[in-house]
Structure 1
Amino acid sequence: MNAEATACTICHRGLYADELGRYACSPCTGRIDGQLRALAGAKGLYARLSAHLAPRVGNGGPAVSGSRTAPVPLRLDVLNLMTAGGPVLGPLETWVRDWRDHGRAEVCEAGTLQQRVDHAVRTLRFNLQWAVASHAAVDEFAREVSLIYRQCEAQVSGERRPRVIPVACPCGQTLRVTLDTPGCRCPRCGTQYGHSELMDLPLADRQIAA
Structure 2
Amino acid sequence: MHNHTTPDDGYEWPTCAAGPDRGHGAHTLWADELDRLVCRPCEDKTARRIAELPALFRQLDTTAALMRGARRPGGGGGGGSKTPPIPPRLEVLALVGPGGVSARLAAVEDSWRSALGWGIAAWRGSPAQAVPHQVQFLTNNLLWACSSYESVGQDIEEIRRLHAECAALVAGERRPGRVQIGVCPVPVGDGHCGTQLTASATSHRVRCGGCGARWETLGEWRELRAAQDAVAGVAA
Please state which band the TM-score falls in when normalised by the shorter chain.
0.5 to 0.7
Determine which of 88, 91, 96 is the counterpart of 1:77. Answer: 91
Shift of 1:5: 7.1
Q: Distance in 1 between matches of 2:84 and 2:61?
A: 9
Query: What does 1:32-181 align with in structure 2 at a 5 Å threshold?
Result: 32-40=46-54, 44-53=55-64, 71-86=85-100, 88-103=101-116, 106-160=120-174
Alpha-carbon deviations, 1:155-187, whole Å to 9, x = none? Answer: 1011149xxxxxxxxxxxxxxxxxxxxxxxxxx
Alignment correspondent of 1:195: none
* Structure 1: unaligned runs, 5 residues or longer: 56-68, 162-210
1:6 aligned onto 2:40:
no
CA RMSD of aligned residues (A): 2.3
TM-score by length of 2: 0.54
Identity within the alignment, %:
34
Shift of 1:108: 4.7
**Would you identify which runs of 4 or more consecutive aligned residues in structure 1 move more than 6 Å?**
none
Question: Across the two proteins, how many residue pairs are aligned to each other?
Answer: 141
Shift of 1:17: 2.2
Shift of 1:51: 3.5
Kept in 1: contact 2:47–2:139 (CA 8 A):
yes
Kept in 1: contact 2:109–2:134 (CA 8 A):
yes
Shift of 1:71: 4.0
Alpha-carbon deviations, 1:17-74, whole Å to 9, x = none? Answer: 221131110110011110000002xxx000110243357xxxxxxxxxxxxx764332
SS in 2 for 1:101: helix
The structure with more radius of gyration:
2
Shift of 1:110: 3.4
